[in-house]
Structure 1
Amino acid sequence: MKRLLPLLLLAPLPTLANEVGLCPAGATELQLEARAERDVANDTLHARLVIEREGLEPAALAEEVNQLANEAMQSARAVPALRLTSGGYRTQPVYAPKDRRIERWRVRHELLLESRDFPAAMRFVARQQERMGLDGLWFALSAASRAEAETLLMQEAAHSLMARAEALRQTLGRPRVELRRIQLSPQEGAPLRPMVARAMLAETAGVPPLEVEGGESHIVVQAGGIACVLP
């Protein structure tokens, strides 16, 4: 879905407000703005997996957590569509509530999963649930898909500016119009909302992994320029 909203501005654009003398003498100077936007299907799944263990010996806990992380890494490397990287790692004491002495230790290691193959990613997550928790699940556009969408919207916004300028030329009965200092600026769309998924997703008792839909990201490109309607 896309919306294209060309506007004629009576007040200067903030980014062009200090531009003077762009049009030759005798020309009518107009400041134009256009906005192109569309919703693009998210193509990348992100998940945060957490390995957390508590006990009396921090070294033994770290060894167990590291072993589980290494096994998960090896499992992910066997699936080309998956990219698993290490996130935060923390070892911290857990204090007794009364006398503040160290009662035990906690080791936490985060693994960050990224994939454009949603079913493969969810199968991997489900298989890991017996040994680690799922702390978050969200979707986004890959850098390549975002750049492609922004390029198309820049073209649409620029064409809209040109069409608006030509329409104004015809209205004023002038022979020519030129656009000066066109500015194209991608804008941030609606913020992504992580889908928190802490429930067990393991493939046990014949239960299949959770099916997910990636949703959409809202992409916006703002365009501005000065039209010189020549006499």
Structure 2
Amino acid sequence: MSRFTRNAAIITLSVGTLASVPAQAGDDLHYNQISLRAEASQEVARDKMIVTLYTESQNADPAKLAAEITTTLNKALGQAREVKAVTLRQGSRNSYPIYDNKNQKITGWRERAELRLESADFPALSKLTGELLNTLKMQNMDFAIADATRKASEDALLKDAVTAFKARAQLATDALGGKGYKIVNLNFNTNGYPQPYARGAMMMKAAAMEDSAIPEVEAGTSQVTMSADGVIEVIQ
């Protein structure tokens, strides 16, 4: 199944801004220059799942605390490495002191370490996450568009945007009674590609309570748009 779907109906010829560019004294004369804008849109699947887990604890002895955090994290890393479809990235690790009520004396230490998991295989990552929640806690679950999917959709949108711009340029040329046109400049801009957005951790926490539960996740899609802004010169 395709990771993105073209929405050809979005490539419209809505009313654009037609602005003649007046000739300036001492400059070359440029008549019938017109500014145009065209757009192409697609629904693109969020096909990368990102889960951030962490372990956190406190102890009066910072050395024992560090050893405890390291042991927990190493066990999780070893378990995660067995799932080939999942990419592992260690996140931040921080330690800070705990003070007494008067904020004068250090009574202990607290440390936190993160583990970030990424995969396009949602069932595999969901299952692994549920298993790791026996020893770790979840910070968040995110969904994003994978780099390869984004590139493919941008390539397709570029072609569609050029086609839409050429159609609009021809429409303007015909309206002005021109014989043809030439493109003076053309610029492309994209928007709608999302940053990863977080989902709640409750679903995965519930899954961890049932050994056989593998929750189904629906990442959804994002509508992305590429605009083509340019200037043409109509040939009379």
> TM-score, normalized by length of structure 2?
0.85
Query: In the aligned structure 2, how far is the partner of 1:185 from the partner of 1:110?
Result: 36
Structure-1 residue corresponding to 2:88: 84
- The corresponding residue for 1:39 is 43
Q: Which deviates further from its counterpart, 130-139 or 214-223?
A: 214-223
Alignment of structure 1 residues 111-190 onto 2, 5 Å? 111-189=115-193
Shift of 1:205: 4.5
Q: Report the Cα offset of residue 105 of structure 1.
A: 1.1
SS in 2 for 1:226: strand
* 1:42-97, Cα deviation, whole Å (9 max, x unpaired): 10000110111111111111112112212222222211110111100001111222
Given candidates 3, 8, 11, the residue that maps to 1:4 is 11
| Paired residue secondary structure (1:174) | coil
Partner of 1:221: 226
Distance 1:107 1:183 in 2: 50
Aligned pairs, how many?
222
CA 1:182–1:88 in 2, change beyond 3 Å: closer, same or farther?
A: same
* TM-fit CA distance, 1:146: 0.8
Q: Does 1:211 align with 2:216?
A: yes
CA contact (8 A) 2:19 2:34 kept: no
1: distance between equivalents of 2:118 and 2:59?
31
Q: Does structure 1 retain, via aligned residues, the 8 Å contact 2:173–2:234? A: yes
Please report the TM-score for the alignment, with normalisation by the length of structure 1.
0.86
What displacement does 1:99 show?
Answer: 4.5
1:30 counterpart = 2:34: yes
Q: Distance in 2 between matches of 1:31 and 1:118?
A: 45
Output the amino acid matched with 1:8. G
What percent of counterpart residues are identical? 27
Of 214-223 and 94-103, the range deviating more from structure 2: 94-103
Note the residue ranges of structure 2 that are not aligned, 5 or more in a row. Answer: none
Q: Pick from 62, 67, 91: which aligns with 2:66? A: 62
SS of the residue aligned with 1:153?
Answer: helix
What SS does the aligned partner of 2:101 have?
Answer: coil
User: Does the residue aligned with 2:186 lie in a helix, a strand or coil?
Assistant: strand
The change in CA–CA distance for 1:167 and 1:202 in structure 2 (over 3 A counts) is closer
Partners of 1:128 and 1:202 within 8 A in 2: no
